[in-house]
A and B are shown apart, each in its own frame.
Chain A
């Protein structure tokens, strides 16, 4: 068994060679290579990889759950620096995680290359000659017959060939072997791991992932400036973006109003008009969850939706300084949403609004809340600020450091509670706010993952290799004849199952089958 040999020599060498401290550079290099490529190391590395993957499932990961990660940081100020040193917020990109799998890859290559050579030789070699004493083999059977030994050998060879063995006929014996593909499967499996990694790496280097919120009715063209968030691969270039564009024509949701999941939204359909390039024809696609739109090698996904109240702000002079659908982000399943309006150009003073949108407004326990996600009783409830609103790094946050809340005459904060169509004047001649209607928005995820088919081919290859290496049973069978003292022919059959699973019953059955056919064909001949 080739693997067995690899391991055995490894073991012997470890004992024979001196400790690493006594070696010169070359010996040390060889010793290191042996250690890294030994089976035991591969095993330890595999288990280490499993162990190393655990922290990433416990500590929130920056790439997976960045909000969770920042919340965790706030909650554990003392541990955070330590965790950051250990890369615990991005385990799967960390040097120590990479070190484990790179070592594993080296170990893998160091294992496959020599084994492929051994396998190549084994493929071309003949089944080994019959051992002297077949009775010593784990599977053995014998019978006595009056047939001529030469006939027995011929028949044995024919029977073993029929059973798809590779057969070598000797003078008084037959050697046969089958199941060569097991090792091939094994090698393919190991090789496929490399293929998967290459596919994965391609995606990481040349791919990208971006998100954009599009108000229903408006459009998007694939350009870096249009994205809200964009995570490029390490070697990604902006000009690799494909020149498509689309418009969200319509968006439909089905709200469940009864049953255990009442309040849940389903059957999201976003109707897109899209063009693969500026001068190609316009096509339509119904974008749904689980049904991304693929344009070229880019995939477009519908991953979220929400409300965008249309708000208009007029300043003290009566000029419109802000107008349009404003994206409010849902904070829970009832689509109670949060949003801000910064009217920075309002005169004489800037006007900022911050507050909630309730699609179905209700008072629960005396607190305002939304009781349903659909637009049954929409209400916009916002506080008003004035002063310097800053430059505005995010369109979802109002910078209130230099702004003051606008108060009512009684000193309470001035709050706008508006239904669609309402217009309210602000105190102190600041201006007025109107709530003109409600639009919807879609969060669209756009990503390109080159190498995904390479990775897929890799895992499929792995599965095929795995099946071969687990279920093909390499076996050797020998048949030997000799004349007994009484002149009869004694036929010995021995077999060696070289698969580690072993299935003694099936082996016995096969042996019995071989013997039976040989005896029967013998009788037919006589």
Chain B
């Protein structure tokens, strides 16, 4: 297959998985519309409602499969072939893929059925944003990105982002459920507060070491190779550090100060806000960041150094 046809395949796969995610969302909506009529402690294992739930998960599995094809296509379309996270569009594509994949992997273990509609809706909206605003044709990477650290550094950052996002969803629901007195409907059916808090903690406990690895180990090693200094206080680094500190505070608070529940959920959401701001925001607000791969024509600047000379490479 030629590069152009790989690229076309990727674009079609993105569209297709968007449609399948949408169908999965519809299935979950049918499921929850059915569940609304029942008391919160009543479980349904047969009939249309249960069927819709299973269909939702099945469709999500299919969508994730197509999503993987989309990523593969992006990687194969590039010359030379590369990992499909060289710009914001691809990073969003990869990030949403890992959110959906982690959800499926943790589905059984943490009984995350209730999270289905939320994850699918989130992934679907992010994919639409990516296609509308971030889309870029497949292009060769800037020189500094040609490194195997691109694989290790970015994949760990994306996985951590996925885990933190799932944890954040739990925290949001914790805060919502805490205020809700409903005895039926969606909020009544999500797991009890203590268990939401625990799932959220475990997502974060999984994400934090991965984030540490991405931001504080592989990041500096690569920065040293590419930019001659392992820590540059580059805006993206600063915000990754801020995210790290906030999540460290979250784990610390839970471990020692006994901050469970509400306060912990709030800290976790602050962490999630810094994480996503760092991902999206910094690329648009800061022009000096060496992580700016957002602009359509990537400035071929490896590093603008302090005076006397400015030398794009």
Contact residues of A with B, CB < 8 Å? 3-4, 6-7, 39-40, 42-43, 46-47, 49-50, 53-54, 56-58, 60-61, 63-68, 92, 186, 200, 209, 211, 213, 228-229, 231, 256, 259-261, 263-268, 289-292, 299, 301-306, 327, 329-333, 335, 394-396, 443, 445, 447, 449, 452, 455-456, 459-460, 462-463, 466-467, 469-471, 500-503
Contact = CB atoms under 8 A, between A and B. Distances in A.
B64 to A, nearest CB: 26
Contacts of A209: 228-229
Interface of B: 136-140, 142-144, 146-147, 198, 201-202, 205, 208-209, 212-213, 216-217, 220-222, 224-235, 238-239, 241-242, 245-246, 248-249, 251-258, 274, 282, 285-288, 297-300, 302-313
A213 B311 contact: yes
Q: Determine which residue in A50, A64, A460 has the highest number of CB atoms from chain B within 10 A of its CB, and name it.
A: A50
Contacts of A305: 311, 313
Which 5 pairs from chain A and chain B are nearest by CB?
A304-B311, A57-B235, A50-B245, A443-B311, A3-B256
Given A42-B252, A445-B303, A503-B202, 5 more contacts: A229-B309, A264-B142, A303-B313, A452-B230, A459-B217
19 contacts: A4-B258, A43-B252, A53-B245, A213-B309, A265-B313, A266-B142, A290-B226, A292-B228, A301-B227, A303-B303, A329-B309, A332-B312, A396-B308, A452-B224, A466-B212, A470-B205, A470-B209, A500-B201, A501-B201
B255 A3 contact: yes
Contacts, number: 214
Nearest to B136: A260
Q: Determine which residue in A211, A290, A394 has the highest number of CB atoms from chain B within 10 A of its CB, and name it.
A: A290
A237 B212 CA distance: 34
B255 A266 contact: no
Contacts of B309: 211, 213, 228-229, 304, 327, 329, 396, 443
Given A260-B136, A303-B303, A229 B146 contact: no
Contacts of B258: 4, 7
Q: Determine which residue in A46, A92, A394 has the highest number of CB atoms from chain B within 10 A of its CB, and name it.
A: A46
B249 A229 contact: no
A206 to B, nearest CB: 15
Nearest to B218: A459
Contacts of B313: 265, 268, 289, 302-305, 443
B137 A394 contact: no
Given A47-B245, A302-B313, A463 B213 contact: yes
B251 A304 contact: no
Nearest to A305: B313
Contacts of B256: 3-4, 6-7, 39
B257 A445 contact: no
Contacts of B239: 57
Contacts of B298: 261, 264
Given A67-B310, A471-B205, A268 B143 contact: yes
Q: Determine which residue in A57, A61, A460 has the highest number of CB atoms from chain B within 10 A of its CB, and name it.
A: A57
A204 B8 CA distance: 50
Contacts of B238: 53-54, 56-57
A266 B114 CA distance: 48
Given A64-B233, A447-B228, A289 B208 contact: no
B312 A304 contact: yes
Contacts of A503: 198, 202
A200 B231 contact: yes
A460 B302 contact: no
B287 to A, nearest CB: 8
A290 B228 contact: no
